[in-house]
């Protein structure tokens, strides 16, 4: 019933998926259920989804231990799951339900469930744009794996939340008034980022002092048109100082799952750096509709085709056989590279470790001295390939990039950041 509730809460009304959810443990209970009777009572498609789910649950992947988790396994899991979009929906809903109750399991088993949720299923959901599932999987898994850090952040939020909420409310009212004066129709809301996201901010800034992690909140501005998205961005930049390196234009360059928005981080007060997302009402509906969206069904098959085009991974996936008459090409324009925590960074083909570093953070790029690429130390100008796992190595004494990097960097973001840092030293 828990999985059914999760599906319905997320807007899934497909009767076959709901039936599959009610039946998804039927083959675990009995190896030989009366299929004819079940088809007569529940329908063939619902039973097929339950059967597909059972085969997936029995796959070799489910018996892999968390210590073996790698980017290859994430892709293997995704390719297994994406065979049937409806089974995929059921599977990830089941994983969300599992992680909610995992704390009651024996300690070591709970840890294994949490590691798979955090390092396999959360990245899959992020690929698919199912962000509410990402938040649940990450938060609940993080609570099991690192309860001390989790509760430390939770305690800090509870202590500071009233003041933060008050300030965010004032900022949202002020912003709406300004935009109303400019005749821009908008809807504004705000939120505190979830606990695991805040922890990642602590890691990003290499600072465990929560009082110094300013961008723990986000505000969303919805407008009528793409033109107004950029108009709002311009207006906000006239009001507050902003962090140029934190700007992301997902309208011009949508995320893999189709997510669209403009992201900027503004210094709205002495204590708050606020991430403001600007998008149209239509973009918001497409972004937030999640697993109930028709585009979700297309996302799985589209990503599967893209991932299958990468021969490096296909050679590593032992359950896939390449036929000699099938021509497999690499990505034409982009590569997909993994961070140590299995986040996927999209870069243009020909990008180097320099581009990867600046894609994450300007400070990381400026202090970069090399990179661990698939556990081998490489120079900063090493070109990356899809599927590479990259960890940037930095030096505390190095704060500026080399001028030669301008010749090595592929992305506009990296080159602009390098030029800016060089100018600052003159």
Could you give all domains of the chain from N- to C-terminal order, each with its CATH number?
2-145 (1.10.3210.10), 160-277 (3.30.460.10), 330-425 (3.10.20.30)
The predicted structure's pLDDT at residue 357: 96
CB under 8 Å to 402, separation ≥6 — which residues?
Answer: none
Band of pLDDT at residue 325, cut at 50, 70 and 90 = very low
Identify each DSSP E strand in 339-380 by its residue range. 344-348, 368-373, 376-378
The answer on pLDDT for 226 being more than 60 is: yes
In tens, the pLDDT along 101-153 reads: 887 787 788 888 898 888 888 877 877 777 788 899 999 999 888 888 888 88
Q: Is the dihedral of CA 393, 399, 404, 409 positive or negative?
A: positive
How many helices and strands (H and E) does the chain possess? 20, 11
The answer on pLDDT for 78 being more than 90 is: no
| HSE (side-chain half, CA atoms, 13 Å) at 52 | 22
The answer on pLDDT for 323 being more than 50 is: no
Window from 48-62, 78-92, 96-110 with minimum mean pLDDT:
48-62
The answer on pLDDT for 398 being more than 90 is: no
Report the SS3 class of residue 376.
strand
Average pLDDT of the residues of the chain: 79
The predicted structure's pLDDT at residue 370: 95
The predicted structure's pLDDT at residue 99: 92
Percent of residues, the chain, with pLDDT higher than 90: 34
Q: Exposed, middle or buried, 297 (CB in 10 Å: 0-12/13-18/19+)? A: middle
Range from 1-10, 19-28, 122-131, 164-173 that averages highest in pLDDT: 164-173
The predicted structure's pLDDT at residue 369: 95
Window from 29-43, 48-62, 157-171 with minimum mean pLDDT:
48-62
The predicted structure's pLDDT at residue 248: 93
Backbone angles phi, psi at 281, to 5 degrees: -60, -40
The answer on pLDDT for 74 being more than 70 is: no
The predicted structure's pLDDT at residue 249: 95
The predicted structure's pLDDT at residue 304: 58
Report the SS3 class of residue 186.
strand
Q: Are strands 368-373 and 376-378 parallel, antiparallel or unpaired?
A: antiparallel
pTM: 0.60
The answer on pLDDT for 404 being more than 70 is: yes
Residue 38 CB coordination number (10 Å) = 18
| Two structure tokens written together for 382 | 């090493």
| Two structure tokens written together for 206 | 């290499």
User: Cα(365)–Cα(400) distance, rounded to whole angstroms?
Assistant: 9
Per residue in 1-20, is it b (16+ CB within 10 Å) or e — as a string? Answer: eebbebbeebebebebbbbb
Backbone angles phi, psi at 378, to 5 degrees: -130, 160
CA-based angle 301:303:305, to the nearest 5? 70
CB under 8 Å to 47, separation ≥6 — which residues?
Answer: 19, 20, 23, 35, 38, 39
Task: Using only the alpha carbons of the chain, give its radius of gyration.
Answer: 23
Backbone angles phi, psi at 161, to 5 degrees: -60, -45
Q: Give the residue with greater pLDDT, 111 vs 324.
A: 111
User: Cα(6)–Cα(35) distance, rounded to whole angstroms?
Assistant: 26
Determine contact, residues 71/374, Cβ cutoff 8 Å: no
Q: Work out the average pLDDT over 197-201.
A: 84
CB under 8 Å to 220, separation ≥6 — which residues?
Answer: 188, 189, 190, 191, 276, 277, 278, 279, 284
Report the SS3 class of residue 192.
strand
What DSSP string describes 30-92? -SS--HHHHHHHH-HHHHHHHHHHHHHHTSGGGG--GGG--HHHHHHHHHHHTTSHHHHHHHH
Q: Exposed, middle or buried, 83 (CB in 10 Å: 0-12/13-18/19+)? A: middle
Give the DSSP letter of residue 117: I
| Two structure tokens written together for 23 | 């039946």
In tens, the pLDDT along 145-186 reads: 888 888 888 888 989 889 989 999 999 999 999 999 999 999
Band of pLDDT at residue 365, cut at 50, 70 and 90 = very high
Window from 321-330, 349-358, 378-387, 400-409 with minimum mean pLDDT:
321-330
The predicted structure's pLDDT at residue 69: 56
Q: Work out the average pLDDT over 16-27.
A: 75
Window from 45-49, 330-334, 371-375 with minimum mean pLDDT:
330-334
The predicted structure's pLDDT at residue 52: 72
| Two structure tokens written together for 204 | 């990003």
Tokens 């008034």 belong to 177
Q: Work out the average pLDDT over 224-240.
A: 97
């Amino acid at each position: 019933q828990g999985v059914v509730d999760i599906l319905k809460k997320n807007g899934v009304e497909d009767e076959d998926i709901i039936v599959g959810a009610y039946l998804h443990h039927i083959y675990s209970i009995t190896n030989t259920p009366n299929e004819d009777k079940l088809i007569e009572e529940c329908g063939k498609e619902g039973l097929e989804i339950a059967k597909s789910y059972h085969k997936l649950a029995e796959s070799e992947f489910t018996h892999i231990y968390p210590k073996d988790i790698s980017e290859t396994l994430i892709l293997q899991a995704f390719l297994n799951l994406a065979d049937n979009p409806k089974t995929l929906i059921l599977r990830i809903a089941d994983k969300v339900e599992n992680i909610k109750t995992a704390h009651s399991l024996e300690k070591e088993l709970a840890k294994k469930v949490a590691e798979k949720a955090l390092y396999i299923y959360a990245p899959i959901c992020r690929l698919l744009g199912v962000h509410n599932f990402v938040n649940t999987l990450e938060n609940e898994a993080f609570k099991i794996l690192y309860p001390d850090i989790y509760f430390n952040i939770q305690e800090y939020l509870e202590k500071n939340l009233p003041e933060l909420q008050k300030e965010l409310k004032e900022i949202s009212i002020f912003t709406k008034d300004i935009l109303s004066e400019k005749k821009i129709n908008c809807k504004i809301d705000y939120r505190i980022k979830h606990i695991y996201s805040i922890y990642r901010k602590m890691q990003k800034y290499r600072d465990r002092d929560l009082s110094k992690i300013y961008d723990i909140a986000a505000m969303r501005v919805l407008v009528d048109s793409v033109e107004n998205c950029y108009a709002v961005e311009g207006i906000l930049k006239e009001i507050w100082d902003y962090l140029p390196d934190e700007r992301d234009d997902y309208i011009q360059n949508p995320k893999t799952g189709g997510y669209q928005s403009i992201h900027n981080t503004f210094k709205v007060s002495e204590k708050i750096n606020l991430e403001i997302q600007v998008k149209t009402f239509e973009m918001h509906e497409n972004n937030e509709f999640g697993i109930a969206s028709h585009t979700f069904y297309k996302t799985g098959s589209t990503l599967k085709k893209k991932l299958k085009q990468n021969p490096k991974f296909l050679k590593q996936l032992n359950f896939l056989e390449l036929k000699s008459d099938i021509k497999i090409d690499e990505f034409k324009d982009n590569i997909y590279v993994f961070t140590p925590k299995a986040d996927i960074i999209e870069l243009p083909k020909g990008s180097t470790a320099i581009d990867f570093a600046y894609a994450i953070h300007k400070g990381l790029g400026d202090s970069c001295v090399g990179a661990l690429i698939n556990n081998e130390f490489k120079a900063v100008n090493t070109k990356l390939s899809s599927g590479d796992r990259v960890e940037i190595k930095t030096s505390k004494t190095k704060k500026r990039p080399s001028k030669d990097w301008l010749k090595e960097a592929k992305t506009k973001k990296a080159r602009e950041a390098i030029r800016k840092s060089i100018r600052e030293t003159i």
